[in-house]
Homo-oligomer: A and B are copies of this chain.
């Protein structure tokens, strides 16, 4: 029997727990000064906060996404916290997506695959950047498809920033846009139960419908919901067809800042990581509810069953 790869496990978790992906993009600046001071170091505080959130998530989330940049910014100690956070997510029984957006060629891409699919920084799924060409994807997909590897790969398709207009949305002489071209290649590379997925930001309803219909068998990792300004309704469109997971990072990590019950402690400088994690978990359950409610509305599908 072939081992399930992690993209399949992720789909199953989303089916079971709903589509929320908790983004542990934990920058020390998200924590109150006083709580930071009580920990041995900013990196240690980040790892401890992540742990406390994980302990409270229950069935709020399908998975976690960890943005490596915030850990890299803290140097070696930060990467120790990154390793410990990946392990803590797995220990909590959740799939972990490493948001690394690596992209390079040949031996270098193979080294990145080894870096993020094995050893200290082993994740279940990773994000990759296709800019240098589709040969950059091959080493990751090879690893993902191998029985011993069994990992998942999310390729950047449509990001959630304004700058996506600069390259991703450029119209090609051959028709369509750069991101349509990437989408078509991902469709070509994928198959039902593929280890391949796509990153599609929830920032535009029309794009969302078009991409969802064009890549109907691809599972989506959906940033841009919550603090980044995306809406649950657009996320729901992207959750149609093969489905996906919707990431929320700051909306959860910084929920304590708008938690009126904590304002007294915040003013007195007595907020603990446990207080913050209580707010974070509550925000996660609220986000899950919001997403499930939006998803329950009937999907507005286009007539065309496969547009590219």
Contacts and interface: CB of A to CB of B under 8 A. Distances in A.
A74 interface: yes
Contact of A111 (B73, B111, B120, B167): B73
Contact of A132 (B115, B156, B174): B156
Interface string A177-219: 0100110010000000000000000000000000000000000
Interface residues of A, number: 58
Contact of A69 (B69, B108, B178): B108
Interface stretch (A133-141, A143-151, A259-267, A296-304): A133-141
Contact of A135 (B109, B162, B178): B162
A139 B109 CA distance: 25
Contact of A159 (B101, B133, B162): B133
B115 A131 contact: no
Copies per complex of this chain: 2
Given A74-B119, A114-B73, A130-B131, A108 B165 contact: no
A278 interface: no
B161 A69 contact: no
Given A76-B120, A119-B73, A173-B173, A161 B132 contact: yes
B108 A25 contact: yes
Given A67-B111, A73-B115, A130-B166, 10 more contacts: A27-B111, A70-B108, A72-B111, A75-B120, A76-B76, A79-B79, A101-B102, A132-B163, A132-B168, A167-B182
Interface of A: 25, 27, 67, 69-70, 72-76, 79-80, 83, 101-109, 111-112, 114-116, 119-121, 129-136, 156, 159-168, 170-174, 178, 181-182, 185
11 contacts: A101-B104, A105-B159, A132-B156, A132-B164, A132-B168, A133-B161, A135-B162, A167-B178, A171-B172, A172-B172, A172-B173
